[in-house]
Amino acid sequence: MRYLTAGESHGKQLTTIVEGIPSNMPLNKDNINESLLRRQKGHGRGKRMQIEKDLVTVAGGVRHGYTLGSPIALVIHNDDFKHWEDIMGDDPIETDQKIRRTVTRPRPGHADLNGALKYGHRDMRNILERSSARETAARVAAGAVAKTLLRQLDIEIVGYVREIAGINAEEYPDMNMQDRQSISEESPVRTLDPEAGQKMMDAIDQAKKEGDSIGGVCEVYVEGMPAGVGSYVHYDRKLDARIAGAVSSINAFKGVEFGIGFEAARKNGSEVHDEIAWNQEEGYYRKTNRLGGFEGGMTTGMPIVVKGVMKPIPTLYKPLQSVDIETKEPFNASIERSDSCAVPAAAVVMEHVVAFEVAKALLEQFPHDQFPKLKQAIDQYREEIRCF
Instruction: Give residue 46's pLDDT.
Output: 64
Average pLDDT of the residues of the chain = 94
d(CA 164, CA 206) in angstroms, rounded, equals: 13
Give this prediction's pTM. 0.94
How sure is the predictor about 189, in pLDDT bands with cuts at 50, 70 and 90? very high
Look at 97-106, 315-324, 368-377 and tell me which has the smallest mean pLDDT: 315-324
pLDDT digits (tens, 9 = 90+) for 216-236: 999 999 999 999 999 999 999
Look at 93-107, 189-203, 235-249, 342-356 and tell me which has the smallest mean pLDDT: 93-107
Burial of residue 120 (number of CB atoms within 10 Å: 0-12, 13-18, 19+)? exposed
Instruction: Give residue 94's pLDDT.
Output: 78
pLDDT digits (tens, 9 = 90+) for 152-168: 999 999 999 999 999 99
Q: Are 215 and 316 in contact (CB under 8 A)?
A: no
The residue extents of the domains of the chain are 2-386
Q: Are 264 and 248 in contact (CB under 8 A)?
A: no
What's the CATH class of domain 2-386? alpha beta
Beta bridge partners of 5: 16
Segments in 277-342 forming alpha helices (H): none
Phi, psi for 356 (deg, rounded to 5): -65, -40
Q: Residue 101: CB partners within 8 Å, gap ≥ 6?
A: 87, 125
CA atoms within 13 A on the CB side of 90: 5
Instruction: Give residue 330's pLDDT.
Output: 93
